[in-house]
Amino acid sequence: MKAIAASLLILASVLTIHFALGASSPDRPAAVNAENWIPVSDKMGFVVTSSHPFPPPAVMLTPPAEGYFMVHTGNTWQRIIIQDPIKGPGASG
């Protein structure tokens, strides 16, 4: 009886640690579907918002995808917005 109780206690401890650590560090933001998530690292990923469903051209390039980056800071995911500069470097812009 003591062996069964000890086994159940160990199992419960392992499950608690597993789910507690998994909840604090999700692999993607909660509102993002797995098919729309492209992980870059454990702290950053790309969310695909739209892809072009037309077949690829004869040169076999995949069609472009649109989306945005997300970074994991602390316990939250934050969306990164990249803005075009008003003027380019030097005299080019």
> Over 60: is that where the pLDDT of 11 sits?
no
Which residue stretches of the chain are H helix? 2-24
Instruction: Give the residue numbers spanning the domain of 28.
Output: 2-80
Over residues 71-84, the pLDDT tens digits come to 998 889 999 887 77
Give me the number of domains the chain comprises.
1
**Structural domain contains residue 68:** yes
Q: Counting Cβ atoms within 10 Å, is residue 87 exposed (0-12), middle (13-18) or buried (19+)?
A: exposed
pLDDT band at 4 (very low <50, low <70, confident <90, very high): confident
- Spatial separation of the C-alpha atoms in residues 87 and 82, rounded to whole Å: 15
Give counts: helices (H), strands (E), the chain: 1, 4
**Structural domain contains residue 55:** yes
What is this structure's pTM?
0.53
Phi-psi region of 3 (alpha: psi -120 to 50; beta: other; left: phi over 0): alpha
**Structural domain contains residue 93:** no
Query: Strands 37-39 and 76-80, how do they pair?
Result: unpaired
**Structural domain contains residue 50:** yes
Over residues 19-72, the pLDDT tens digits come to 554 444 468 898 898 989 999 998 999 998 886 666 656 666 766 778 899 999
Mean pLDDT, rounded, for 5-31: 61
